[in-house]
């Protein structure tokens, strides 16, 4: 990854951070993601909806994949990138896999996130890096992240949220 590619990834992760901020402000957990098309266009944004939507699978990435699969063909989604503030959990990695998005880019790792959430019952996420899940898959989905440069901005949205 060259410096320009890195800057571009950070540009979209910063946008996802804004989505995560809005998710928190709306009464949900502070997670956000974007779907970016092959030409760099932002196709969709999605924050977490699990609390206000009363949906146990309402993580940002899974919710986005459910929407995206209704709007775009799989062949097109394969050329897209899902940007997320935090590494997708096991469920969301599965959703991205089945939704057939070819690349995942994230800001902070699942383990870094677990340091923030601690034992909060709202986010007892499995300790399962998305690369480990995808390594057992049958599609060459590319994974990029974490990005130390963006950690502080991602973490700031979580401050004071988890107990």
Point out the residues that are catalytic. 61
> Tokens 């989505």 belong to which residue?
19
Report how many residues bind Zn ion under the rule CB under 5 A: 4
Q: Which of 92, 101, 141, 153 binds Zn ion (CB under 5 A)?
A: 92
* Burial class (CB within 10 angstroms; exposed 0-12, middle 13-18, buried 19+) of 122: middle
Asked if 157 interacts with Zn ion (CB under 5 A), we say no
Number of other residues whose CB lies within 10 A of the CB of residue 55? 14
Query: Distance (Å, rounded) from C-alpha 136 to C-alpha 158?
Result: 31
Is residue 59 close enough to count as binding Zn ion by CB under 5 A?
yes
Q: How far is the CB of 5 from Zn ion (least distance, A)?
A: 25
User: CB 91 → Zn ion: shortest distance, Å?
Assistant: 5
Polymer length of the chain: 163
Nearest distance, CB of residue 97 and Zn ion, angstroms? 12
Among 89, 105, 141, 143, binds Zn ion (CB under 5 A): 89
Is the CB of 33 or the CB of 77 nearer to Zn ion? 33
Residue 47: Cβ-neighbour burial (10 angstroms; 0-12, 13-18, 19+): buried
Two structure tokens written together for 126: 């499995």
User: Based on CB atoms, which residue is closest to Zn ion, 59 or 100?
Assistant: 59
Q: By the criterion CB under 5 A, which residues form the site for Zn ion?
A: 59, 89, 91-92
């Amino acid at each position: 990854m060259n410096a320009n590619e890195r800057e571009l990834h950070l540009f979209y992760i910063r946008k996802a951070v804004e989505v995560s901020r809005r998710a928190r402000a709306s009464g949900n957990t502070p997670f956000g993601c974007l779907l970016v098309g092959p030409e760099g266009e932002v196709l969709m944004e999605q924050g977490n909806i699990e609390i206000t939507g009363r949906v146990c699978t309402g993580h940002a990435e899974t919710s986005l994949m459910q929407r995206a699969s209704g709007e775009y063909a799989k062949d097109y989604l394969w050329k897209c990138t899902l940007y997320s503030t935090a590494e997708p959990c096991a469920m969301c990695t599965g959703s991205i896999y089945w939704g057939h998005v070819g690349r995942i880019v994230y800001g902070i790792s699942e383990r870094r996130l677990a340091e923030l959430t601690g034992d909060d019952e709202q986010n007892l996420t499995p300790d399962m890096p998305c690369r480990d899940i995808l390594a057992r898959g049958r599609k060459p989905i590319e994974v990029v992240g974490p990005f130390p440069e963006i950690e502080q901005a991602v973490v700031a949205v979580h401050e004071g949220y988890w107990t």
